[in-house]
């Protein structure tokens, strides 16, 4: 599998699992726009249109992780030169920094709840150069979720989404 590009760091997002589980605002607006409403007198259709507009705004303006990792590239307002890399080592260093600042909770019984940082980094180092996105999501001791990703650009699964921020390094 051949891939050539750069990477964008997305997140971290930290928040309640209830917000993460509300997928409407985590999906991008439909490419054809809002659903057509044939009869604006029908309250159900008006409610549907209003919910669509609300969810589209949540996706465009919010920082909750999208349902598909490649959709991060659509959130141009969150792109940053500090989190855009051509060097794999810089992307791995960012993942490490964010992970260490937001470590996963530790089970009271001492059993392992998540893969170790070393295992996660080994996987990321293997797949990122091949154009495979990496997303790390885990619970914190506070019971909030932490979610952060490194997204390949151009994206193998969403090749039509343009780059939100060209790399400078």
Domain boundaries, the chain: 6-31+38-153
The more confident residue out of 130 and 58 is 130
Q: How many CB atoms lie within 10 A of CB 114?
A: 16
Which whole number is the average pLDDT over 26-38?
72
Mean pLDDT estimate for the chain: 89
Specify whether the backbone of 11 is left (phi greater than 0), alpha (psi in -120 to 50) or beta.
left
* The pLDDT value given to residue 14: 98
CA torsion sign for 62, 64, 65, 66 is negative
Closest C-alpha among 168, 167, 157 to residue 135: 157
Q: How far is CA 99 from the centre of its chain?
A: 15
pTM beyond 0.85: yes
The more confident residue out of 48 and 7 is 7
With 70 as the cut, is the pLDDT of residue 1 above it? no
User: What tokens does 41 get?
Assistant: 């007198």
Question: pLDDT band at residue 47, thresholds of 50, 70 and 90?
Answer: confident
pLDDT, tens digit, for every residue of 98-141? 999 999 999 999 898 999 999 999 999 999 999 999 999 999 99
Among 42-46, 50-54, 65-69, 123-127, where is mean pLDDT lowest?
A: 42-46
* The pLDDT value given to residue 151: 98
């Amino acid at each position: 599998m051949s891939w050539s590009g750069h990477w964008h760091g997305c997140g971290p997002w930290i928040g309640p699992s209830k917000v993460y589980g509300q997928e409407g605002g985590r999906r991008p607006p439909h490419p054809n726009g809002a659903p057509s409403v044939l009869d604006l007198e029908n309250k159900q259709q008006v409610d549907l249109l209003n919910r669509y507009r609300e969810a589209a705004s949540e996706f465009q303006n919010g920082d909750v992780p999208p349902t598909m990792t490649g959709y991060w590239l659509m959130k141009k307002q969150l792109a940053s030169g500090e989190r855009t890399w051509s060097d794999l080592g810089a992307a791995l260093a960012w993942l490490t920094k964010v992970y260490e600042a937001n470590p996963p909770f530790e089970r009271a019984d001492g059993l392992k709840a998540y893969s170790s940082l070393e295992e996660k980094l080994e996987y990321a180092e293997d797949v990122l150069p091949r154009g495979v996105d990496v997303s790390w999501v885990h619970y914190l001791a506070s019971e909030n979720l932490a979610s952060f990703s490194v997204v390949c650009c151009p994206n193998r699964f969403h090749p039509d989404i343009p780059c939100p921020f060209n790399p400078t390094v």
